[in-house]
Amino acid sequence: MTAAVRQAGPADVDTCVALLGAQLAEHDLGSGDDRPAIEGALANPSLGAIFLAEEAGTALAVAYVGWFWSIEHGGASAWLDELYVIPSRRGAGLGSLVLAAVESAARARGCVAVDLEVEDSHERAAALYLRTGFRPLPRRRFVKRL
């Protein structure tokens, strides 16, 4: 059976919370209560989109992409905030499948670029992005929680 990717909606909140929660926990990120942010994203498509890769009714991968306006890129752009594949299905092409859906949605919105970040130690994810045409930038990212 082949996995299919679809955009999640408000009815998918529990699935999205479970998968994105696993992603954030794996990397020691998140607030601990990510449900409000996920519910907000699902309820407000102008902010971004969540995509699910499913096979036989089981969600195997998830991605969240946010929309923004970039001076650097010259217009509408996308930020791939999260992409997660369940550990037992990594290496099976699901990351590429979800990433293709994200890029297609970004193009459909008129986006001219997709930005993302990868932890230095996450070589497997970096390899996926390099294989699919992303290039690394010589930068460091900073954050200040408010």
- Per-residue pLDDT, averaged over 15-38, amounts to 86
The domain in which residue 88 lies consists of: 4-131
Longest dimension (CA), the chain: 45
Mind listing the pLDDT tens digit for each residue in 91-139?
A: 999 999 999 999 999 999 999 999 999 988 889 999 999 999 999 999 8
Q: Is residue 46 part of a domain?
A: yes
Q: List the structure tokens of 17.
A: 């919370």
pLDDT at 41 over 90: yes
Question: How far apart, in whole angstroms, are the C-alpha atoms of residue 27 and residue 16?
Answer: 17
Q: pTM of the full predicted structure? A: 0.92
Q: Is residue 142 part of a domain?
A: no
How many structural domains comprise the chain?
1
Q: Is residue 141 part of a domain?
A: no
Q: pLDDT band at 29, cuts 50/70/90? A: confident
Q: What is the pLDDT of residue 1?
A: 61
Residue 85 forms beta bridges with which residues? Answer: 61
- Per-residue pLDDT, averaged over 48-59, amounts to 95
pLDDT at 32 over 80: no
Report how far Cα 65 is from the mean position of its chain's Cα atoms. 5
Question: How far apart, in whole angstroms, are the C-alpha atoms of residue 64 and residue 51?
Answer: 6
Asked whether 3 and 97 are in contact (CB, 8 A), the reply is yes
What CATH number is associated with residue 49?
3.40.630.30
